Amino acid sequence: MMNKISESVKIFLNGQKLGYVATVSANGTPNLSPKGTIIAWDESTMAFADIRSPNTMKNLETNPNLEINVVDPLLRKGFRFKGQGTIIKNGQVYEAILNHYRENGIKSPIGAIVLVEVSEILEVTSPLYDLGVSEVEMKDKWKKYFLDL
Residues across the chain: 149
CA dist 60 → 43, 65, 74, 84, 141 (Å): 22, 7, 31, 9, 38
Closest CA to 12 of 120, 117, 121: 121
SS (H, E, C) 30-92: EEEEEECCCEECCCCEEEEEECCCHHHHHHHHHCCEEEEEEEECCCCEEEEEEEEEEEECCCH
- Domains of the chain, start order: 7-147 (2.30.110.10)
- pTM comes to 0.93
Q: Could you list the pLDDT tens digit for every one of the 149 residues in the chain? A: 778 999 999 999 999 999 999 999 999 999 999 999 999 999 999 999 999 999 999 999 999 999 999 999 999 999 999 999 999 999 999 999 999 999 999 999 999 999 999 999 999 999 999 999 999 999 999 999 999 98
Report the chain's C-alpha Rg in angstroms.
Answer: 16
Residue 120 is predicted with a pLDDT of 96
CB–CB of 74/67 below 8 Å? no
Name the burial class of residue 70, with classes exposed (0-12), middle (13-18) and buried (19+) by CB atoms within 10 angstroms of its CB.
buried
Residue 149 is predicted with a pLDDT of 80
CB–CB of 66/84 below 8 Å? yes
